[in-house]
Each structure stands twice: as structure tokens, then as C-alpha cells.
Amino acid sequence: TQLLEQSPQFLSIQEGENLTVYCNSSSVFSSLQWYRQEPGEGPVLLVTVVTGGEVKKLKRLTFQFGDARKDSSLHITAAQPGDTGLYLCAGGIPGTSYGKLTFGQGTILTVHP
């Protein structure tokens, strides 16, 4: 059973379209992070959200943490081919070792020119 469920698992869109990736759980997280990973490389942190209801923007990317700190979303506006990659959400579980993260299974995004 996956503690963090990401949807969709695969997303194939045309350049210029908007998209949203979801990360859901029945558990409360102390913080939630989004990473992006390209083939042959390790994941790179995009953002960390820590407060319920928090919204953070990073250029064309908007991240939201649910009020109850159980879910998060990543919205990309006007997607570009350079956005192609594996997007991973990861949560810190209260009461576990500090720094220990639980990852979702990822969303593979392909943006076609």
C-alpha cells in the first residue's frame, strides 16, 4: 500500500497546455516536498511546503498544500518540453526519524513540442 498516492501516473501533453499533478494521502505530513527527476540523474528539489493551505509559486509552477496537510498539488501553466521528467512528491511523517521521507510513485510527464 502506497502511503502517498500520485495521480496521474503518466501525462502526455502538447506544449502550451496546462496540467495538474496530485499527491494524496490519508496521513498527515509535517512537510511535503516536490522533486523533479530527469533520466540518469537524481531527483532535484523544487519546493517544500510546511503550512496547511500554503501556496508557493515558482515561475510557471504553482504548489499547494492542503489545509489538513494530507495532500498537495502541482500545477504547471503553459507547459514546455523542458518540463518533461518524473515528478515526485515526498512527505515527512511526524514521529519518524527527522529527515526520513516517504515518496509517492511519481508522475511521468512528457511535453511534446
Partner 1 sequence: GAGVSQSPSNKVTEKGKDVELRCDPISGHTALYWYRQSLGQGLEFLIYFQGNSAPDKSGLPSDRFSAERTGGSVSTLTIQRTQQEDSAVYLCASSLRTSGTNEQFFGPGTRLTVL
Q: Which residues in this chain contact partner 1 in the complex, by CB under 8 A?
A: 2, 4, 6, 31, 33, 40-45, 48, 50, 86, 88, 90, 92, 97-106, 108
The least distance separating partner 1 from the CB of residue 102, rounded to whole angstroms, comes to 7
10 with 21: CB under 8 angstroms?
Answer: no
Separation CA 73–CA 14 (nearest Å):
20
Residue whose CB is less far from partner 1, 2 or 18: 2
Residue whose CB is less far from partner 1, 10 or 77: 10
In sign, the C-alpha dihedral spanning 50, 51, 56, 62 is positive
Residue whose CB is less far from partner 1, 56 or 75: 56
Separation CA 21–CA 94 (nearest Å):
24
